[in-house]
Amino acid sequence: MVDNECTLCPRECKVNRDIVAGYCGCDNKIRVARAALHFWEEPCISGEKGSGTVFFSGCNLRCCYCQNYTLSHQRFGKEVSSERLGEIFLELQDKGANNINLVTPTHYVDKIIKVLDNIRKDLKIPVVYNCGGYEKINTIKMLKDYVDIFLHDIKYYDNERAFKYSSAPDYFKHSSEAVNEMIRITGNPIIKDGIMKKGVIIRHLVLPGGKEDSMSILNWINHNLKKDSYILSLMNQYTPYYKSIEHPEINRRLTTYEYEKVLNYAIELGLTNGYMQERSSAKKEYTPEFDLTGV
Ligand code: SF4
């Protein structure tokens, strides 16, 4: 951020968000759609007590198939003050949450840091940065003393696919650079009694018609990251939402063959430190009701 020109993410809109919103759809007011215990993240994040998940409105990536499109594209949510956001974090901690899970936080990083500074002495649980992967290194560096766990997507290797589905042709460049910085910040994953305390989880959602792209991502991970420096979460829960109807090739569920092809390739490469989803996990229940609960 220079002279109020927002450059928090690779879009680099350079707008003054005191006056207008950028590509993410958000001005400088924090908006939240839901804050509640969530049980559908990876087991080391949700555990039995749940992850204290805060769903922010708006998004800097806005994939055409987003399952949370009412938030990301339509910006459903309620404006909250910095003070209220701090209270929300502490209320989730009081409810027994394993962590504070910030969902789509990129466009609010500067504000979240101030909130975490304000409640630093009272917040005892890890903070999770749960993003779509379209991140800038400089923004990730800002999180060094604030975030313990990164849930980082690597969605695309191919620039054309990244452009077609997320209008972000430089997605892989930024996502791959960011994951290296995240690992540098957190160090290798630390899990105690089944619950993650520090580290990076790399998520990849296999898309219909995208198994070759998924395998390119696995190749990159294999050649560029140390195997013990991250946990891999290979997801098959794709369900066609929102504007996927405009792209017939992704307007369907993933087939068992497609997912198993990618899964077997991961196993072949020895990328077995992580989570592989069962076919039955492709359900709409993964998407909670966005009804301002806890806000
Ligand atoms: S955070 Fe929003 S306004 Fe800032 S650069 Fe990214 S898309 Fe643009």
**Which domains occur in the chain, in start order?**
30-205+242-250+281-286 (3.20.20.70)
Distance from C-alpha of 54 to C-alpha of 104, rounded to nearest angstrom: 9
Side chain identity at 95, as an amino acid letter?
A: K
214-252 pLDDT tens trace: 999 999 999 999 999 999 999 999 999 999 999 999 999
Residue 61: which of 151, 140, 139, 163 has the closest Cα?
163
CA of 108 to the centre of ligand 1 (A): 9
4-31 pLDDT tens trace: 899 999 999 999 999 999 999 999 999 9
Cβ–Cβ < 8 Å for 178, 154: no
Atom of ligand 1 nearest to the CA of 12: 5
62-97 pLDDT tens trace: 999 999 999 999 999 999 999 999 999 999 999 999
127-149 pLDDT tens trace: 999 999 999 999 999 999 999 99
Provide the pLDDT confidence category of residue 285 given band limits of 50, 70 and 90: low
pLDDT score recorded for residue 1:
56
Q: Is the CB of 13 under 6 A from ligand 1?
A: yes
Q: Is the CB of 22 under 6 A from ligand 1?
A: yes
pLDDT score recorded for residue 289:
82
Question: What element of type H or E holds 30?
Answer: strand 30-38
pLDDT score recorded for residue 283:
52
Percentages helix, strand, coil for the chain, rounded to the nearest 5? 35, 20, 45
Share of the chain above pLDDT 90, in %: 90
Cβ-based neighbours of 94, under 8 Å, separated by 6 or more = none
Residue 123: which of 94, 143, 84, 151 has the closest Cα?
94
Average pLDDT, the chain: 94
Atom of ligand 1 nearest to the CA of 58: 2
Provide mean pLDDT across the span 56-67. Answer: 96
Provide the pLDDT confidence category of residue 3 given band limits of 50, 70 and 90: low
Tokens found for residue 58: 């708006």
For the cut 70, the answer to whether the pLDDT of residue 212 exceeds it is yes
198-209 pLDDT tens trace: 999 999 999 999
Provide the pLDDT confidence category of residue 288 given band limits of 50, 70 and 90: confident
CA of 198 to the centre of ligand 1 (A): 27
CA of 50 to the centre of ligand 1 (A): 30
Q: Is the CB of 1 under 6 A from ligand 1?
A: no
CA of 8 to the centre of ligand 1 (A): 6
CA of 116 to the centre of ligand 1 (A): 21
Q: Range with the lowest mean pLDDT among 15-19, 172-176, 181-185, 240-244? A: 240-244
pLDDT score recorded for residue 277:
74
For the cut 80, the answer to whether the pLDDT of residue 2 exceeds it is no
Q: Whose CA is nearest to atom 3 of ligand 1?
A: 22
Q: Is the CB of 62 under 6 A from ligand 1?
A: no
pTM for the full predicted model: 0.95
Provide mean pLDDT across the span 108-127. Answer: 98
Provide the pLDDT confidence category of residue 287 given band limits of 50, 70 and 90: confident
Side chain identity at 260, as an amino acid letter?
A: E
